[in-house]
Amino acid sequence: MIERYSLPKMSSIWQDEFKFKTMLDIEIFSLEALARLKKVPPQAVARIRRKARFNLKEISRLEEKTQHDIVAFVNNVGRYIGPDAKYLHLGLTSSDLLDTTLGVQLKAVSGILEEDLDRLLSVLAKKAKRYKDMVCVGRTHGIHAEPTTFGLKLALWYDETRRNLLRLQQAREAAAVGKISGAVGTYANIDPSVEAHVCRKLGLKPANISTQIIQRDIYAQYLTTLAIIGASLEKFATEIRHLQRTEVLEAEEPFGKGQKGSSAMPHKRNPVICERICGLSRLLRGNALAAIENVALWHERDISHSSVERVIMPDSTIALDYMLNKFIQVVDGLTVYPDNMLANLVRTHGLIFSQRVLLALMDKGLTRAKAYDIVQRAAMLTWKEGSGFKDNLLKSKEFTLRLKEKDLDKIFDLDYYLRNVNTIFRRLGLN
């Protein structure tokens, strides 16, 4: 991932320093277990633990020659260890290091993403409660429908984010696995107890069964989960983008002092953060598809997945970390325009009350079809002329035979639509 969208804490987990440090831990933990099995002298393990280190530049130089990063790593570490290097990597295969390290990395990055989601939940809860009763128009198909509140929009995002946190926890649990099972997963040259010891020390679970690798459906689940979280962020950001449109302007992402919206038009205040979040969500979905393509490998393993994962694993986690942090800033600094919400609410001259009028006529004995026809004729006149919906209803003899103006006064009541808002908030634990 490019530096522009990378936050330091997350990025550090995908750096070579973290990767090779974890691999060195795996090698030493394996030797500890082998010493218990009397396969390696305990004194040798103590000397290896004291001497073992690596040099990133030397590994890179060796890899140019060997064309194999793990061979380069093992050879480099061996040079520091000396004669005891003959015990290093005993019975292991490259993927024992690579996939177990990946389990450690995914567990670590998941912790960061879970912290991000927790912070997003906190700010969404705060804002939802603040705007719980701020009435605005609900829209379906982009068209005014019935009254709702801005707090309900945010409460919906809160609930979806809570589901996403649960999804991530489940995906993290599935991906936090390791394997020390050898070349084709049969433990031919390494005892299963070594795997158990290494995974326990690293805080991982041993894979139930593996080949040369951990099976890639696990990582497909993980990256698909990240893509779903990204899709939710895109959904939330898209709503803000629509609400920030000049002709709507009910809410607006933060615009900092000194910020510029356009190189050509000084008046512009564009929803650039939300647009950036929407763009990066496409990257997450593309990477999830690549992870699914990685599931089908030849026999006990081929290497076609490796090059893909070197890109999609860091890029997806780094991008989502960035997106979550940016969206937290957006929600926390959101500018809300209640006067514009009320202005937009009445823009359709009362049409938002049409369903209540329909139901009231049905209560007077009309069929749904007949009542619908009466209400729709008055509504279409309002659309055409911009006249008041209530006035157009009162012009209809078919309507006034059944309902009067005082009845409409009760029907055109915002409180009726909002009477269950507190119930919804209690259900979400936001009371």
pLDDT tens by residue, 288-332: 999 999 999 999 999 999 999 999 999 999 999 999 999 999 999
Give the confidence band of 258 by pLDDT, cuts at 50, 70, 90.
Answer: confident
Residue 285 has pLDDT above 90, yes or no: yes
Residue 21 has pLDDT above 80, yes or no: yes
Check residue 107 and give its pLDDT.
98
Check residue 216 and give its pLDDT.
97
d(CA 236, CA 127): 14
Mean per-residue pLDDT, 17-35 = 98
Check residue 417 and give its pLDDT.
95
Check residue 219 and give its pLDDT.
98
- Give the rounded percent of residues in the chain with a pLDDT score beyond 90: 96
Residue 1 has pLDDT above 80, yes or no: no
Q: What angle do CA 257, 258, 263 make, to 5 degrees?
A: 135
pLDDT, tens digit (0-9, with 9 covering 90-100), for 349-377: 999 999 999 999 999 999 999 999 999 99
pLDDT, tens digit (0-9, with 9 covering 90-100), for 55-107: 999 999 999 999 999 999 999 999 999 999 999 999 999 999 999 999 999 99
The chain-wide mean pLDDT, for the chain, equals 96
Mean per-residue pLDDT, 138-152 = 97
Check residue 257 and give its pLDDT.
80
Catalytic site residues? 141, 262
129 CB-near residues (< 8 Å, 6+ apart): 151, 425, 430
Check residue 431 and give its pLDDT.
84
Mean per-residue pLDDT, 421-425 = 97
Mean per-residue pLDDT, 148-165 = 98
Domain boundary assignment for the chain: 6-255+263-342, 351-411
The domain over range 351-411 is classified in CATH as 1.10.40.30: yes
Which CATH number does 6-255+263-342 carry?
Answer: 1.20.200.10
Smallest Cα–Cα separation from 239: which of 267, 286, 271? 271
Check residue 265 and give its pLDDT.
82
Per CATH, 6-255+263-342 and 351-411 having the same topology is answered no
d(CA 392, CA 380): 10
d(CA 361, CA 392): 15
Mean per-residue pLDDT, 259-273 = 85
Residue 232 has pLDDT above 90, yes or no: yes
